[in-house]
Amino acid sequence: MGNFDETNITGPFGEGGEGLKNGSLPAGGFPDTDIFRRFFCYNGAFRPTFSPAMQLTAIGLNHQTAPLSIREQLAFAAAELPDAVNSLLDSGAAREAVILSTCNRTELYCVGAPERIIDWLVAYQGLDAAEVRPYLYTYGCSDTIRHAFRVACGLDSMVLGEPQILGQIKDAVQVAQEQNTAGTWLNALFQKTFSVAKEIRSGTAVGEHSVSMAAASVKMAEQIFPSVSKLNVLFIGAGEMIELVATYFAAENPRLMTVANRTLPRAQELCGKLGINAEPCLLSDLPDILHRYDVVISSTASPLPIVGKGMVERVLKQRNNMPVFMLDLAVPRDIEAEIGGLDDIYLYTVDDMADVVQSGKEARQRAAAEAEVMVEQKVAEFLEWQKSRENVPLIRALREEGERARRYVLENAMRQLAKGTSPEEVLERLSVQLTNKLLHSPTHTLSSAGSRDNELVDAVAQIYHLNHPGQK
């Protein structure tokens, strides 16, 4: 019979995300299952899928661990995500990967080697590892599951309970699925994540009374100007975030709204949704029109700033130093940070919105405590389910070995019948051969068992419902 490799029998959902090492079990492992594998040594039929170095992990940083100046360096534009997830797998650092990148977080959910994933991340973004590492968090198996659940429920968001993050996770998973970088483990994780998020959001008040970033944008502008209805508002970009923000501003009926975008059709489409007093234009028009606007809100996927200090200095002269409220929701930033030092410019970023979005936080925190309890329950359920799934390949291998034995003795019996041997004799031989085939491996293993291998002996007795002298 073939040898069975005990050192690599668990997937990335094993305790601590690690496989068996040197034949030892992880804490909380399954000794009965391990003995079962030793007991039935099946010609290598059971094939491990993951090496011990590969584990379920989440690596990233967010608004709590890193300032905007660091987050923007590690951000991935939506258009580059397909290339990024494929590059990560091609590097050999991971076997499965989902990359989530928003204005407040960049996170890599992987089945892989954490240190190698970090090395890939800093190399891909062209950064110095020593500069980035202090801001990164790295989660093992159970913590990754817990973190995914919490993020999807909005428990880790700047705006506690905000719903937008769930859609962003779904988009990230969709990209990974389209690129075939989300396999069995991550698909199972995120399927459960979406189910948990739905249950917690509908079963608790964690998302109620929240002030979204879009609504907060209007509140911040109202701190500078007494009435939005008398303002000209410019939106740079035409993506989901700008559409949300523009919808809130449109409700205040500003004097003029303009959407500047790289492509005109998308800007026209958004203006059509906003209704009257909305005009489309191209980004290339900005130098000529920027001076007309009291409020400028930007959120694009540009890797470089769109609004520079020199442009704004010219705008201030044209406006006779009338104030301008500028809100940069992009990561990386669309508006050069130095502009914030100019007189009469009120420049804010996503990190400056924290205080504004705290309205109703106390009520949401009470609901969040309830949600956290539910998260812990769901993590335990998912881990237990995954542990039960780890035995499926072994069960399949056992049945396949039994089927091979059955076919062998059956074919032998058919040959004997063809030679004219009596059916009674053939059946007798078949039964003896099948019994010997099925019991050879456990009998040999028991015969080789040492006097101290009591667990193995107990397992055999348990499997076959036998009594043996060592039992009480």
Does the annotation count 103 as an active-site position?
A: yes
Q: If DSSP codes are grouped into helix, strand and coil, which group holds residue 447? A: helix
- Of 103, 110, 153, 271, the active-site residue reads 103
Is-contact 351 180, C-beta < 8 A?
no
The residues, ordered by sequence, that sit 6+ positions from 210 with a Cβ below 8 Å of its Cβ are: 159, 160, 161, 162, 357, 360, 364
Measured distance CA(120)–CA(126) in Å, rounded:
10
Distance between CA atoms of residues 29 and 63, nearest Å: 36
Number of residues written out for the chain: 472
Are 280 and 263 a contacting pair, CB within 8 Å? Answer: no
CA distances to 218, 368, 392, 427, 452 from 406, rounded to whole Å, are 74, 57, 21, 13, 34
Please, is 86 exposed, middle or buried when counting C-beta atoms within 10 Å of its C-beta (0-12, 13-18, 19+)?
middle
- Three-class DSSP category at 41: coil
Q: What is the DSSP letter of 353?
A: G
Residue 405, both tokens: 């034995």
Cα separations in angstroms, 320 against 162, 293, 346, 399: 40, 13, 16, 84
Question: Which residues participate in catalysis according to the annotation?
Answer: 103
